[in-house]
């Protein structure tokens, strides 16, 4: 599995912890995020993640900023990207099961690091249910 990850200054510490966690599982991670806590513009670090998912160069993306909102909005500008802002395991599971989310947006200032790791695991271990949800997901992309 290949995952692209990106973050702004609010998500740097979370990103490093997520990368370490994913590598213990044998997952390949491409880091597009800033490696410092110096203020940066989140779109500069989120667009490359979304582009990787859009072009299928990565199976999934993980994006992190303070609220998760700006990153989520940025990622969802890309065709075929279904980024979900998740702050609980339950919302994360539904984003995968019902919406076939392919990017996880994490609000670093609102959840703990242990919660984040649980959310990442839930995201990666939950399958899309297809069925009635597939018809709905197909209606998300406006390029058709």
C-alpha to C-alpha distance for 113 and 14, rounded to whole angstroms:
7
Cα–Cα nearest to 111, from 62, 66, 61? 66
Residues with a catalytic annotation lie at 65, 98
Please report where in the chains the tokens 């200032």 appear, as a residue.
109
Are 42 and 17 contacting, i.e. CB atoms less than 8 angstroms apart? no
């Amino acid at each position: 599995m290949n995952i692209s990850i990106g973050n702004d200054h609010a998500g740097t510490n979370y990103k490093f912890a997520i990368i370490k966690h994913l590598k213990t599982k044998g997952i390949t991670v491409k880091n597009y995020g800033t490696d410092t806590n110096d203020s940066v513009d989140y779109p500069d670090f989120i667009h490359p993640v979304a582009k990787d998912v859009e072009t299928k160069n990565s199976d999934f993306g993980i994006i992190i900023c303070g609220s998760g909102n700006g990153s989520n909005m940025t990622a969802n500008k890309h065709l075929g990207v279904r980024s979900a802002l998740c702050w609980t395991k339950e919302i994360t599971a539904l984003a995968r099961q019902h919406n076939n989310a392919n990017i996880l947006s994490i609000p670093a200032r609102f959840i703990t690091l242990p919660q984040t790791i649980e959310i990442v695991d839930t995201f990666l271990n939950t399958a899309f249910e297809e069925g009635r949800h597939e018809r709905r997901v197909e209606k998300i992309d406006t390029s058709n």
